[in-house]
């Protein structure tokens, strides 16, 4: 592992690889270990790898603290005073320093994380990667804005399932990383008018739960207008599945709801047929995933209380549009779609409609890799006909 790390991360090949020694916040040849503060004062790096003769690799790691040019120069001078002549410095941090130094290389924590995840035969590498995930999960729990300045891990999929039960804190970390990636998608911005700089959900509090969700807003909200006045793109990591939906909120502008209702049921059915076909295409490479509709009526006893569900209807959209050519297992029951339109047409409650797809952990495996991000984006893009009707002038 040490040889691989030096070669693949530091980009070096020391001549005496078999004689290498590693010390932490310490000086070669001394037995004394210093506290972080004392090591900083003495100009010692976090890790010192050397061959006992001329060659040395000094590692300085930063996550939130600032890195200075003077700090690295002091590391170099300390090594020179110890008679090392072939000196190299590796900086591991969040962002590339704005200064250059000879014999110094920068590596992002995210690259270290990806390298560790590739070392599948090393228990130690997997432990370090898991430690980074837990640490970052705690940071996200403390402050959602933590990821604004960068991360130490990268989104590599959603591992929940039989082998790894759902964990709320881990779900929050994964959700934040996923949304950070999706917010940068130009296809969502171009085709759906997703607002990459728009506010998502407020602070995600709590330490336990069966689901955690966030949203990407769509351009068009007026200043100070709540996201519930506009359709939005929502991603939810639930205890048994990933839910990717376009939400038509209960408090949406009245004109938007009228745009759907005025289609009549026949027009609404044609619209949903287009969405269903788009979703089937988007999910073609994701066995176990399904086009999905959720109709939800709920209320709140107070602003801070959990929602009380008065009614919920959720169904596979393919029930309304059987595909005889593919002899699908899903049986026709078009009354679910009829009920959806009727509820929307005669809305008298806090009624929310959601259209998209579900990815169950039990029988769908695409979410276990970063490829799930493409399926999430494609699911939202498949709902473009619905958004086009809702937001039309």
For residue 274, the surrounding DSSP H or E stretch is: helix 264-282
What does DSSP assign to residue 147?
A: G
Condensed to tens digits (0 to 9), the pLDDT of residues 97-116 reads 888 888 899 999 999 999 99
Query: Is residue 327 assigned to a domain?
Result: yes
Q: Looking at the structure, do residues 163 and 37 belong to the same domain, yes or no?
A: no
- Residue 325: predicted pLDDT: 63
- Contact in structure between 152 and 164 (CB atoms under 8 Å): no
Task: Supply the CATH number for residue 160's domain.
Answer: 3.30.930
> In the predicted model, is pLDDT for residue 278 greater than 80?
yes
Confidence of residue 320 (pLDDT cuts 50, 70, 90): very high
Write down the mean pLDDT value for the chain. Answer: 90
Judging by beta carbons within 10 Å of its beta carbon (0-12, 13-18, 19+), is residue 30 exposed, middle or buried? exposed
Confidence of residue 303 (pLDDT cuts 50, 70, 90): low
Query: Is residue 313 assigned to a domain?
Result: yes
User: Of 111, 138, 170, which marks where a domain is finished?
Assistant: 111
Q: Looking at the structure, do residues 227 and 363 belong to the same domain, yes or no?
A: yes
Q: Looking at the structure, do residues 166 and 256 belong to the same domain, yes or no?
A: yes
Q: Looking at the structure, do residues 269 and 385 belong to the same domain, yes or no?
A: yes
Q: Looking at the structure, do residues 67 and 163 belong to the same domain, yes or no?
A: no
Q: Across the strands, what pairs with 92?
A: 61, 107
Full residue range of the structural domain in which residue 262 is found: 155-390
Q: Looking at the structure, do residues 92 and 230 belong to the same domain, yes or no?
A: no
Query: Is residue 118 assigned to a domain?
Result: no
Most confident of 116-125, 163-172, 373-382: 373-382
Query: Between these two residues, 356 and 97, which has the higher pLDDT value?
Result: 356
User: Of 58, 78, 111, which marks where a domain is finished?
Assistant: 111
User: Of 85, 111, 137, which marks where a domain is finished?
Assistant: 111
- Residue 49: predicted pLDDT: 95
Q: Looking at the structure, do residues 106 and 168 belong to the same domain, yes or no?
A: no
Query: Is residue 346 assigned to a domain?
Result: yes
For 222-257, b/e burial (b = at least 16 CB within 10 A) is eeeeebeebbbbbbbbbeebbbbbbbbbbebbeebb
Q: Looking at the structure, do residues 222 and 276 belong to the same domain, yes or no?
A: yes
Q: Looking at the structure, do residues 76 and 188 belong to the same domain, yes or no?
A: no
pTM over 0.85: no
Q: Looking at the structure, do residues 74 and 178 belong to the same domain, yes or no?
A: no
Which runs of consecutive H residues, i.e. helices, occur in 183-252? 186-192
Query: Is residue 386 assigned to a domain?
Result: yes
Rounded Cα distance between 361 and 371, Å, is 15
Q: What is the dihedral of CA 34, 39, 44, 45, to 10 degrees?
A: 90
Domain count across the chain: 2
> In the predicted model, is pLDDT for residue 317 greater than 90?
yes
Condensed to tens digits (0 to 9), the pLDDT of residues 2-26 reads 999 999 999 998 888 888 999 998 8
Query: Is residue 9 assigned to a domain?
Result: yes
| Residue 204 dihedral angles phi and psi, to the nearest 5° | -90, 105
């Amino acid at each position: 592992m040490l040889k691989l790390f030096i070669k693949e991360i530091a980009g070096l090949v020391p001549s005496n690889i078999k004689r290498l020694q590693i010390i932490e916040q310490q000086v070669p040849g001394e037995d004394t270990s210093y506290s972080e503060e004392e090591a900083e004062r003495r100009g010692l790096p976090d890790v010192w790898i050397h061959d006992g003769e001329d060659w040395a690799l000094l590692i300085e790691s930063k996550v939130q603290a600032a890195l200075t040019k003077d700090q690295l120069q002091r590391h170099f001078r300390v090594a020179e005073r110890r008679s090392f002549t072939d000196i190299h410095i590796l900086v591991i941090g969040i962002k590339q320093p704005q200064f250059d130094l000879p014999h110094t290389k920068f590596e992002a924590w995210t690259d270290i994380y990806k390298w560790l995840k590739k070392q599948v035969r090393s228990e130690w590498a997997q432990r370090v990667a898991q430690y980074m995930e837990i640490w970052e999960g705690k940071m996200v729990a403390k402050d959602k804005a933590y990821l604004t300045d960068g991360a130490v891990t990268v989104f590599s999929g959603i591992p929940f399932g039989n082998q790894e039960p759902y964990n709320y804190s881990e779900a929050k970390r994964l959700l934040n990383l996923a949304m950070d990636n999706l917010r940068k998608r130009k296809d969502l911005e171009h085709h759906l008018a997703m607002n990459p700089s728009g506010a998502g959900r407020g602070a995600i509090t709590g330490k336990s739960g069966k689901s955690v969700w966030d949203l990407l807003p769509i351009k068009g909200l007026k200043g100070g207008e709540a996201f519930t006045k506009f359709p939005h793109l929502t991603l939810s990591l639930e205890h048994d599945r990933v839910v990717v939906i376009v939400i038509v909120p209960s408090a949406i502008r009245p004109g938007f709801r009228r745009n759907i209702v005025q289609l009549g049921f026949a027009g609404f059915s044609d619209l949903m047929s287009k969405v269903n076909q788009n979703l089937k295409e988007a999910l073609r490479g994701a066995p176990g995933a399904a086009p999905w509709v959720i109709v939800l009526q709920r209320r709140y006893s107070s602003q801070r209380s959990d929602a009380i569900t008065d009614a919920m209807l959720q169904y596979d959209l393919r029930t309304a549009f059987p595909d005889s050519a593919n002899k699908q297992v899903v049986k026709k029951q078009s009354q679910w779609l009829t009920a959806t339109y009727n509820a929307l047409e005669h809305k008298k409650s806090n009624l929310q409609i959601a259209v998209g797809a579900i990815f169950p952990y039990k029988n769908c495996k695409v979410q276990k890799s970063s490829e799930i991000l493409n399926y999430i984006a494609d699911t939202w893009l498949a709902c473009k006909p619905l958004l086009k009707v809702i937001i039309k002038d």
